[in-house]
Amino acid sequence: MYTYSEYDDAYVRHRVNQFRGQVERRLDGSLTEDEFKPLRLMNGLYLQLHAYMLRVAIPYGTLDSAKMNRLADIADKWDKGYGHFTTRQNIQYNWPKLADVPDMLEALAEVGMHAIQTSGNTIRNVTSDQFAGAAADEIEDPRPVAELLRQWSTDHPEFQFLPRKFKIAITGSPNDRAVTKAHDIGLRMVRNEAGAPGFEVMVGGGLGRTPMVGKIIRDFLPKADLLPYCEAVVSVYNTLGRRDNKYKARIKITVHENGLDTFRDLVDARFAELRPAFSGVDQEVLQGIEAQFAAPAFRQASDDAYHAAYEQDGMFRSWADTNLTAHREPGYSIVTISLKAHGKTPGDATSDQMRVMADLAARFGHDELRISHEQNVILPHVHRSDLPEIHKILKAHGLATANLGLISDIIACPGMDYCALATARSIPVAQQIAERFDELKIEHDIGELKLKISGCINACGHHHVGHIGILGLDRAGVENYQITLGGDGTETAAIGERVGPGFAYDEIVPAIERIVYTYLDIRESAEERFLDTYRRVGAAPFKLALYGEEAKGRARAA
């Protein structure tokens, strides 16, 4: 894991002091809100519906126990004893007081964390595969490159006032767990014919009001060209991107309006200028970073304890079947701790739970933790012999929900319970769906089903790429929920299709239930996932289940 250099440390502390002065000047009246707002946003401080909200970056979702414990301490000391992990692998505090925020940032700086560039029209926190460095299917750990991108993009003087925010995601595996195709730049590690690792580069992906799947701009970019190439892409976007209309300012629109070929030509021309300026210092820096991401000293031990628990304990077996993922090291597993206990707020963890997870990482997990964009916490390196003990501890703290990838493992944005941009609530809808399917006891039978909820068109809840997506809107002063089907956030990315008119708040859970029962009726086998069934049969049976004969009439009329 990367440890701050003296330079990083000095920079972050300098920014804390700068912000402390800015808050003081706001409080004594020398700065107006109009003057202060861009300054606080540069430090991740939003003003939401009921309170300020501080968004803290968790670079590429990687933490150690010291950082996680500090997040817990901050939650207790300056917030309400919990934090919300987001689809950007960040954590948000929902109740900070303005005067306390500089102290919160200082507490973060002490453990090598900050909230810089978690807002504003800059390059945001680089996100990555939550199983990076552990996954059995990985070509290379993408985190050293993600860290290089973080260092390059942090306070990059050319990219502090982009036309709009800019998000980069990177995966080292062919199986895309980082939704790279829904990012401004998506990087997927591949090997060329000679076996050398490099990147497939995608641009112009994004969700929001104009969802688009990223387009491949380079099939194979040598690893050493990554920074100059990314700089060329962002540089072209910075000059070409629209600044006249906020809704047309993202790079997806720039690429769409100019055409991929034109955009690529401009990037290539800019790259030709920039490449010689990169003397190789970046590669030296990368080598230093790579050394810090060396794999832990995996141990050899018997996993008899695991097998014994698996045979004897049904709850453990269910959890192991659902929440473990194959590790590249024999004898090891990747543990996903679900933050989706039925009826709880997706992505929330209390300070006690954070400390429990930090302690588990320190005792059993080579001191590593990850946050996934699906709002869960991961212990990436666990020897299987420790799993029964880990499960016991998780269970005692409400963290052993066995629902990874199932219908109750819902992504939900904060929605109108917190967010000033929201047009409807997300959290209670997620809570009710999870509780309903838990009650029905059918979620394991349903199998993999990604349900994602956004409380507005900006799509923080990734509804476009949910197998079932729910979008909450304000229709004539009433909450209304649109359903999309067939979305996919993986390497086979697809944008879900709207199935028909929306549903009222009290109709949405029964509507989801009808969709799921329809799937169970028509799937060819238990192995055919919801998404596969949808791809095989299309929307018609689901429309019929949702809208009855009316849907048939509409289809005939069309």
Catalog residues that contact other proteins under the rule CB under 8 A.
26-27, 29, 32-33, 47-52, 80, 94-95, 97-99, 345, 416-418, 425, 427-428, 431, 474, 477-479
CA distances from 556 to 64, 501, 517 (A): 58, 17, 25
80 vs 444 by CB, closer to other proteins: 80
Beta strands in 253-376 (DSSP E): 324-326, 332-337, 348-350, 369-371
| Nearest-approach distance from CB 97 to other proteins, in angstroms | 5
What is the SS3 assignment for 510-550? HHHHHHHHHHHHHCCCCCCCHHHHHHHHCCHHHHHHHHCHH
To the nearest 10°, report the CA torsion of 514, 516, 517, 520. 160
Q: Which of 324, 296, 300, 290 is closest to 310 using CA atoms?
A: 324
Residue 463 structure tokens: 């509804």
Residue type, 533: T
State the residue for tokens 């016991």.
392
The smaller minimum CB distance to other proteins, of residues 39 and 324, is found at 39
Nearer of residues 406 and 419 to other proteins, judged by Cβ: 419
Nearer to other proteins, 31 or 378 (CB): 31
Give CA–CA dist 167/184, Å, rounded.
Answer: 5
Closer by beta carbon to other proteins, 36 or else 332: 36
Taking a C-beta distance cutoff of 8 angstroms, is the pair 366, 403 a contact? Answer: no
Chain position carrying tokens 């949910």: 466
Cβ distance to other proteins smaller for residue 129 or 417: 417
Rounded to the nearest 10 degrees, how much is the dihedral formed by the CA atoms of 26, 30, 34, 37?
A: -30
Rounded Cα distance, 448 and 1, in Å: 32
Least CB distance from residue 232 to other proteins, whole Å?
A: 39
Q: Which is nearer to other proteins, 10 or 478 (CB)?
A: 478
Kindly state the smallest distance separating residue 31's Cβ from other proteins, in Å: 9
CB of 117 to other proteins, least distance (A): 22
Least distance (Å) between residue 59 CB and other proteins: 27
CB of 504 to other proteins, least distance (A): 12
Q: Provide the minimum distance between the beta carbon of 81 and other proteins in the complex, in angstroms, as a whole number.
A: 10
